[in-house]
Amino acid sequence: MPARIDPGQRRRHVVGAAFRLVVAEGIDGLSLRKVAAEAGLNVGSVRHYFDGHEDLLAAAAEEAGDRMGRRLARHPVDGLRGLTGAAALDALQALVEEVLPVDTERREEAIVVLELILAARTRPVFRPISARMAADLGRVVADALAALGVRDPEGAAAQVTALIGGLTIDTVTPHGSLGVDRLRATLRAHLSMLLAHHGDR
């Protein structure tokens, strides 16, 4: 009697293969055939879960977002309340770095999310998930800034999320060829200025 296949596990296996292909080849390299080969499955098995490359990219981006979300959850808002000075800066930097390409795992996640964001510019199908991911990140950052006593946390969060986008692009593309040390130093300088400018309530 053949072993029973766990549909959830099989789907995660396919998403993992799609994730790796997006990192390696971008959205243009994503196809049912390539994902099937990467996963060691036939195309029919992949098609059972996904209709095409758009579904696969969305699933890969969701996986990246879920990973980021799990790390962000390790920085509860209550743990930020009352922090000031260097402690506040350290805590904010640690939180923001959870979604920045500072190591291999986070670099790969950032690449997948960036591919989705860029695709959303010309492919409306990706816009809802891109907008939701942006809103979720903005909410986490705004809540953290509010807990740290920053005035106008929503406005400050918009600055931080824009910084995240710029640092990500300059780190994972030849556009800036930014190394991790420079990324961290640039991030810290900007967060320090932001906290000093907005001050404590």
User: Is residue 77 in a domain?
Assistant: yes
**Is the residue at 27 inside a domain?**
yes
Domain membership flag for residue 125: yes
- According to DSSP, the residues that pair with 150 across neighbouring strands are 200
The domain tally of the chain equals 1
| Phi, psi for 122 (deg, rounded to 5) | -115, -5
Domain membership flag for residue 148: yes
Give the CATH number of the domain where residue 109 resides: 1.10.357.10
Following DSSP, what letter does each residue of 134-154 receive, concatenated?
A: HHHHHHHHHHHHHHTTBSSHH
1, part of any domain: no
Angstrom distances, CA of residue 201 to CA of 53, 96, 152, 153, 156: 48, 21, 10, 11, 14
Q: Is residue 154 part of a domain?
A: yes
Q: Are 40 and 81 in contact (CB under 8 A)?
A: no
Q: What is the pLDDT of residues 82-135, one digit of tens each?
A: 999 999 999 999 999 999 999 999 999 999 999 999 999 999 999 999 999 999
Domain that includes residue 82, residue range: 7-198
Note the pLDDT of residue 1. Answer: 40
Quick one: pLDDT band at residue 3, thresholds 50, 70, 90? low
- Mean pLDDT across the stretch 4-32? 90
Is residue 199 scored above 70 in pLDDT?
no
> pTM of the full predicted structure?
0.90
Q: Is residue 131 in a domain?
A: yes
Per-residue model confidence as pLDDT tens digits over 135-184: 999 999 999 999 999 999 999 999 999 999 999 999 999 988 899 999 99
Asked if residue 2 has pLDDT above 60, the reply is: no
pLDDT digits (tens, 9 = 90+) for 19-71: 999 999 998 888 999 999 999 999 999 999 998 889 999 999 999 999 999 99
Residue 2 lies in a domain: no
